[in-house]
Amino acid sequence: MAHFLDPIDRLTETIYSILVLLTFTLAFRIFNLGPGQVVTDEYVNELLVAAIVATIAWGTIDGMVYVLTEVFARGEKHRVLWKIEAAITHDEAIEAIADEVEFILEPITSEAQRKSLYEDILEQLRGSEPQPIRLKREDLTGGLASILIAFLAVMPSLVPFVLLRNDYAMAIRLSNIVSFGVLFYSGYEWGRYTGTNPWKTGLLLVLVGVLLVAIAIPFGG
């Protein structure tokens, strides 16, 4: 998946998918079982189908958003060329470049260095033509990867339902525990990638899952 999505996109998709699954495994009892009713085969099958369909639907929506976002981002990169073309004076063209990169360069460069760099950039870009913004194969593969990750992320949490066919109530609880483990792993990797404390980030995501449990259990979840 590293060939199609960057780490943050992959981790974000995983986190959202697990949270979608948790909302089903925690709250499904509330809406589908009455007082005193036991968990049956039919109930669990409905739960699994609903959870998988919702996860795939979420992944599909997120995949579509990914494609649109990638196209939009490429359009944003061309914006500086459009501004330079529309500039009437040399100073307006320099200002157009500064608007795009000033916030990045200001903390690490002097004003004289930035002005010199903007002049060099303008010299390189002058005469360039913005290219048409088209859908690329990488956009589509990234969108499909989002759907696949959404599906794969919840697979470990569904294993207890396969292994514990005779104790579905326990399977649901174990599924939630596995989901918490995936949340922690995702948070830990997020922390490592972003340079924040991986343990704190992982535990923060687990806390989100625990809060969902705390809300659902009093209602029978």
- Summarised one tens digit per residue, pLDDT across range 175-216 is 888 999 999 999 999 999 888 899 998 998 888 877 776 665
Average pLDDT over residues 162-179: 83
The percent of residues above 90 in pLDDT, for the chain, comes to: 12
According to the model, what pLDDT value does residue 127 have?
67
What residue has token string 């535990």?
203
Express each pLDDT in 100-135 by its tens digit: 788 888 888 888 888 888 888 888 777 666 667 788
- Which value, to the nearest 10 degrees, does the dihedral of the CA atoms of residues 205, 210, 215, 219 take? 140
pLDDT in tens, 14-29: 988 888 888 877 766 5
> Which tokens is 129 given?
């033509």
Average pLDDT, the chain: 81
State the pLDDT at residue 64.
Answer: 92
- Give the pLDDT of residue 220: 47
Q: How far apart are CA 167 and CA 182, in angstroms?
A: 23
Residue that wins the pLDDT comparison between 98 and 43? 98
What does the chain come to in residues?
Answer: 221
Residue 32, classified by CB atoms within 10 Å of its CB into exposed (0-12), middle (13-18) or buried (19+), is: middle
Identity at 40, one-letter amino acid code: T
Q: pLDDT at residue 85 above 60?
A: yes
- Tokens for 160? 């207890």
| Cβ pair 14, 182 in contact under 8 A | yes
Question: CA–CA distance from 111 to each of 107, 108, 123 (Å)?
Answer: 10, 10, 18
> Under a CB-based contact definition with an 8 Å cutoff, are residues 149 and 13 in contact?
yes
Asked whether the predicted pLDDT for residue 33 surpasses 80, the reply is no
Q: Tell me which of 93-97, 141-145, 165-169 is least confident.
A: 165-169
Mean pLDDT is highest, among 56-60, 162-166, 171-175, for: 56-60
Q: Give the pLDDT band of residue 156 (cuts 50, 70, 90).
A: very high
Identify whether the C-beta of residue 176 lies closer than 8 Å to the C-beta of residue 26.
yes
Q: Does residue 221 carry a pLDDT above 50?
A: no
Tell me 57's DSSP state. H
- Does 13 have pLDDT greater than 70? yes
For the stretch 63-76, pLDDT in tens is 899 899 888 877 77
33 by Cβ neighbours in 10 Å (0-12 / 13-18 / 19+) ranks as middle
